[in-house]
Amino acid sequence: MPSSAAMAPGTGRWGCLVLEVAAALTQLTRTPGCCGSRIIGGHEVTPHSRPYMVSVSFEGRHHCGGFLLHVRWVVSAAHCFRDRDLSTGLVVLGAHALLKAEPTRQVFSIAALVQHPSYQPATQANDICLLRLNGSAVLGPAVRLLRLPRRGARPPLAGTRCRVSGWGFTSDFEEPPPALMEAEVRVLDLSACNRSWQGQLSPAVLCTRSGDRRWRGFCSADSGGPLVCGSRAHGLVSFSGLWCGDPKTPDVYTQVSAFVAWIWDVVRRSSSPCSMGCSMGDV
């Protein structure tokens, strides 16, 4: 089972077992978009065209995604760091193909993890955290910041086209994709999404669908990566259903706009964000 599978809320260890058994039973008859696949229905992006993307690894293996908010801060999903030894974690910036040597890369250790104080593992409510790097990123063509929504911004309307990127695995044997993948998705009305999830969704989430009959979305090891609508991070990959990209269980993201004040409060308590790589319009 991939190390950072984003599962439905409340599945826990039993859910892990169910996914492992299901994966074993379906190896010979693969369902398109099933668990353990890469970004579903997507494509490889142009190298370094998503310079805000971050890979978080443990023991030399990609574990989760994230995005660079500030030269010393990364935004990711809180569930990625449960039961993890932060001293073994690395944050990789400027990457495209994780298995290749790339001169554009910058690698940092995790100096601190700030989890949202109301994060609820059982329901994945408030599934967001900040990682403070042990140094400052050097911005350039392959490493850039991604903006947050403006304070008080409403979430994107249903039907809005957005994109989700990641280095999710290409099989249940944890084979990585050739490089950074991306899929275009559309925001789904939250009430319709909640019906699909039988009313289990917590507040402050976003959902997406493919917009057509194809299975399209995120999968295991894409957790923590951003849902980018326009030029801002409006969502953070949180969890999906048993089969990745299945429209019966739409993809669920943390709604970033609900956490903008908290994010900047954390950053300000450590440093002055605008003296270290953000624009005044974002604060």
Contact indicator for 239, 6 with CB cutoff of 8 Å: yes
> Which helix (H) or strand (E) element contains residue 161?
strand 161-166
Distance separating alpha carbons of residues 24 and 184, to the nearest angstrom: 29
> Quick check: is 223 catalytic?
yes
Contact indicator for 156, 229 with CB cutoff of 8 Å: yes
> Exposed e or buried b for every residue in 32-69, given b needs 16+ CB within 10 A?
ebbbbbbbbbbeebeebebbbbbbbbbeeebbbbbbbb
Distance separating alpha carbons of residues 38 and 33, to the nearest angstrom: 8
Exactly one of 37, 76, 220, 223 is catalytic; name it.
223
> Quick check: is 127 catalytic?
yes
Sign of CA dihedral 165, 237, 97, 30: negative
Cα-to-chain-centroid distance, residue 40: 14
Residue 274 DSSP SS3: helix
Distance separating alpha carbons of residues 25 and 241, to the nearest angstrom: 17
Distance separating alpha carbons of residues 224 and 68, to the nearest angstrom: 11
> Quick check: is 222 catalytic?
no
Exactly one of 127, 172, 222, 251 is catalytic; name it.
127
3-state helix, strand, coil split of the chain in percent (to 5) is 15, 30, 55
Exactly one of 62, 79, 116, 234 is catalytic; name it.
79
Catalytic residues: 79, 127, 223
